[in-house]
Homo-oligomer: A and B are copies of this chain.
Amino acid sequence: MKNFECQFKNCRAGNETLGNALPCKRISFAVSQDMARHREFDEEEALAGALEVFWQRGFTGAGMQEICAAMGLNPGSVYAAYGNKRDLFLAAIGLYLDDVTREGIDLIAAAPSGREGIRAYFDYLMDGIVAGRRQWGCFGTNSFMELADRDDAVQAIMKEHFDKLEAAFRKALERDRASLPGHLEPADFARYLVCVAQGLNVLAKTAPDRRALQGIVDAAMLPIASLEEDFVR
């Protein structure tokens, strides 16, 4: 006997699926699982495929056909596992935040100083934009822009993400407080840094080169550049 989660039932997702009401009850139920066939595909691997497509095409732009292909599955299996397109999308955001975004945020606290942490975060961001998958922008930002005012779940998820990023920036600034300009409020400056990051995610879609991005980030960090020039780079 095993407990299984993650099954969706009775999902009928028209256009109003993206409306406000909770569209699908996620019925997590325990089943006597030891009497039947089990899933053949790796759920995370499949989800990663879906994420890829959503990332490149957006929620509306991605067709279930293409998504299914990228997942290596047939529609039936996808719907059995995730219920509908919208819940699959939500799952993809979850994977993204756990996988990609977390990695970036963790860099902030891991660095030897707050400033260096912040710089590490922006370096990570820029690398992704220039070479990596962020050529299509940040999946989180993209989703937020596309769906925030149609889907409360997306709005909530991303707001939470912004808060997390802001908190990480704030902590970093507080670490370096002693060497920061006195009039600089960590709380305000952290929110500002979130704003800059989002701006970069927008500009990502203009296919900017590294030099341009670096210029922006350097300018953004001017107020906290230590006077002893730790920012010669």
Contacts and interface: CB of A to CB of B under 8 A. Distances in A.
Interface of A: 56, 58, 60-61, 136-137, 141-142, 144-146, 148-150, 155, 159, 162, 184-185, 187-189, 191-192, 194-203, 205-206, 212, 215-216, 218-220, 222-223
Nearest to A143: B145
A195 B222 contact: no
Contacts of A184: 219, 222
A216 B202 contact: no
30 contacts: A56-B149, A61-B150, A136-B149, A137-B145, A142-B145, A144-B202, A144-B205, A145-B145, A145-B146, A145-B202, A148-B205, A155-B205, A159-B206, A162-B206, A188-B219, A191-B212, A191-B219, A192-B220, A194-B199, A195-B199, A195-B200, A195-B202, A195-B220, A196-B199, A197-B199, A198-B202, A198-B203, A199-B199, A199-B202, A219-B223
A68 B222 CA distance: 49
A112 to B, nearest CB: 24
Listed residue (A60, A142, A192, A223) with the most chain B CB atoms within 10 angstroms of its CB: A192
A223 to B, nearest CB: 4
Given A136-B149, A195-B196, A195-B220, 13 more contacts: A60-B61, A145-B202, A149-B205, A188-B218, A191-B215, A191-B219, A195-B200, A196-B196, A196-B199, A198-B198, A198-B203, A199-B202, A201-B202
